[in-house]
């Protein structure tokens, strides 16, 4: 499989606090990688390093030249403008003409089922609708790599199902063009449904990196990491 990203011995510190320690990771095209672990385990920090928002304190990150990627946050920021313009602005800033950017924005809103709200103020939408706008904003850039940080964590059950369904659709990609997705989640059911591979983090360290079937197989997981096994069972102190 084609390798998109490679991390070697990556560490990340904020003063005296260590957010990541000696992380090695290869990410290949078409993978759906879930990051799991308790709060403060390093999931968000790892996503931000992968997206280039944080520079590793130690180690190295190498990415495929020209790799197009997009990141969706748990609480997306909406500008004081229409839904359509919130989606179009990123394209315009990257060099697309404004008219073409607005047209692409409508296609993106179609993709997430929000075209009828294109003229509405983005800040007046519900949390689930704002997250769908954020997904449209990412989709119009046609990324090969999606990075999502707890995209359903603060949503009601109905909105969670909508966002998860969109994630599953986007992860399928197009024939001949596999989509790669890395997402952080506390929802282990969601991880089972969406992921092909799971990484368990604790105190910034990768303690387990397994195919999803092995991660949820008690004997196989326990043989790799007792802490990860306790986490899955809900017994981690």
User: Which DSSP string corresponds to 119-175?
Assistant: TSBGGGS-HHHHHHHHHHHHHTT--SEEEEESTTTTS-HHHHHHHHHHHHHHHH-BT
- The average pLDDT across 6-32 equals 96
- Strand 58-63 versus strand 32-36 pairing type: unpaired
pLDDT at 192: 96
Question: Does residue 214 have a pLDDT over 60?
Answer: yes
Tokens of 181: 């997705």
Element (H, E) at 74: none
Condensed to tens digits (0 to 9), the pLDDT of residues 56-107 reads 999 999 999 999 999 999 989 999 999 999 999 999 999 999 999 999 999 9
Q: How many Cα atoms occupy the beta-carbon half-sphere of 237 within 13 Å?
A: 0
3-state SS class at 228: helix
Condensed to tens digits (0 to 9), the pLDDT of residues 149-195 reads 999 998 999 999 999 999 999 988 776 677 899 999 999 999 999 99
Cα–Cα distances in angstroms (integers) from residue 234 to residues 42, 180, 188, 212, 227, in the given order: 19, 29, 10, 17, 10
Contacts of range 224-228, beta carbons closer than 8 Å, 24 or more positions apart = 225/200, 227/200, 227/202, 228/200, 228/202
Confidence of residue 1 (pLDDT cuts 50, 70, 90): confident
Q: End-to-end CA distance of the chain: give it in Å, rounded.
A: 38
Question: Does residue 127 have a pLDDT over 90?
Answer: yes
- The average pLDDT across 205-225 equals 95
* Helix ranges (DSSP H) in the chain: 43-50, 83-93, 98-111, 127-139, 157-172, 188-194, 212-215, 218-224, 226-233
Name which of 164, 118, 154 is nearest 137 in CA terms. Answer: 118
Tokens of 75: 């609480």
- The average pLDDT across 23-46 equals 96
Q: How big is the chain by its Cα radius of gyration, in Å?
A: 18
The CA distance from 171 to 77, in Å, is 23
Name which of 70, 76, 101 is nearest 179 in CA terms. Answer: 70
């Amino acid at each position: 499989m084609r390798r998109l990203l490679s991390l070697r011995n990556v560490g990340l510190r904020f003063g005296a606090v260590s957010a990541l320690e000696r992380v090695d990771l290869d990410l290949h095209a078409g993978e759906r990688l879930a990051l799991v672990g308790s709060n403060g385990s390093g999931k968000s920090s790892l996503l931000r390093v992968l997206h280039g928002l944080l520079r590793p304190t130690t180690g190295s990150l190498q990415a495929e030249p020209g790799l197009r990627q997009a990141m969706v946050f748990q609480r997306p920021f909406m500008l004081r403008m229409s839904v359509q313009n919130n989606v179009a602005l990123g394209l315009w800033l990257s060099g697309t003409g404004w008219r073409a950017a607005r047209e692409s924005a409508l296609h993106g809103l179609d993709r997430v089922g929000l075209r009828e709200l294109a003229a509405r103020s983005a800040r007046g939408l519900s949390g689930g609708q704002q997250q769908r706008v954020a997904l449209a904003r990412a989709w119009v850039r046609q990324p090969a790599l999606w990075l999502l940080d707890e995209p359903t964590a603060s949503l009601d059950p109905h909105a969670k199902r909508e966002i998860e369904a969109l994630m599953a659709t986007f992860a399928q990609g197009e024939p001949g063009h596999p989509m790669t997705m890395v997402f952080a989640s506390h929802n282990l059911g969601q991880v089972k449904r969406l992921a092909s591979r799971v990484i368990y983090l604790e105190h910034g360290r990768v303690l387990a990196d397994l195919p999803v079937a092995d991660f949820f197989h008690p004997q196989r997981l326990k043989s790799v990491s007792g802490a990860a096994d306790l986490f899955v069972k809900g017994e981690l102190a």
